[in-house]
DNA sequence: TGCATGACCAGAC
DNA sequence: CGTCTGGCCATGC
């Protein structure tokens, strides 16, 4: 377990239910520009059920990837369970469900 | 220590 | 749109 991972997991735990965030947002929140580093840390996913890593998606609003059990399909399923509609492998109103760190509430 | 890869991003064609 | 390139930081060997 690296400190960087802890930071990432902590950020993930900040994501409210029914909301999703992007690797870029996490990277920015951590103060780094390397979203890939974030992806790497999250990709490790040492504690899958402990961290809502399924609430993390690429800036494209698509599903991205998931190393958890069931893979991507499971990730989508979980998001739908959270109340996030998934269409064509993409989040419906992605920007609307998008959660930004250090932000009060971007509810429209 | 140095090299190669990654749950990505943004720009260019 | 779809496809390709460069870049960014951390990790593993």
Check pLDDT > 80 for residue A46.
no
What are the backbone dihedrals phi and psi of residue A98, each rounded to the nearest 5 degrees, phi first?
A: -60, 130
CA(A3)–C1'(C8) in Å? 19
Question: Is A53 one of the annotated active-site residues of the chain?
Answer: yes
pLDDT digits (tens, 9 = 90+) for A53-93: 999 999 999 999 999 899 999 999 999 999 999 999 999 99
Q: Provide CB contacts within 8 A for A42, sequence distance 6+.
A: A8, A12, A23, A26, A53, A56
- Stretch A33-40: mean pLDDT, rounded? 95
CA(A56)–C1'(C5) in Å? 25
Check pLDDT > 60 for residue A3.
yes
- Stretch A44-51: mean pLDDT, rounded? 74
- Calculate what percentage of chain A has a pLDDT beyond 70: 91
Q: Which nucleotide is nearest to A30 (CA to C1')?
A: C9
Weakest mean pLDDT among A3-12, A40-49, A51-60, A94-103? A40-49
CA distance between the termini of chain A? 38
């Amino acid at each position: 377990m690296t400190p960087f991972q802890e930071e990432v997991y902590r950020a993930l735990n900040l994501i409210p239910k029914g909301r999703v965030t992007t690797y870029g947002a996490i990277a920015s929140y951590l103060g780094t520009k390397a979203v890939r580093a974030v992806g790497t840390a999250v990709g490790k996913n040492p504690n899958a059920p402990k961290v809502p890593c399924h609430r993390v998606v690429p800036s494209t609003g698509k599903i991205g990837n998931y190393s958890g059990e069931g893979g991507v399909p499971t990730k989508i399923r979980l998001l739908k369970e959270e109340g996030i509609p998934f269409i064509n492998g993409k989040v419906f109103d992605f920007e609307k469900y998008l959660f930004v760190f250090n932000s009060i509430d971007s509810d429209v």
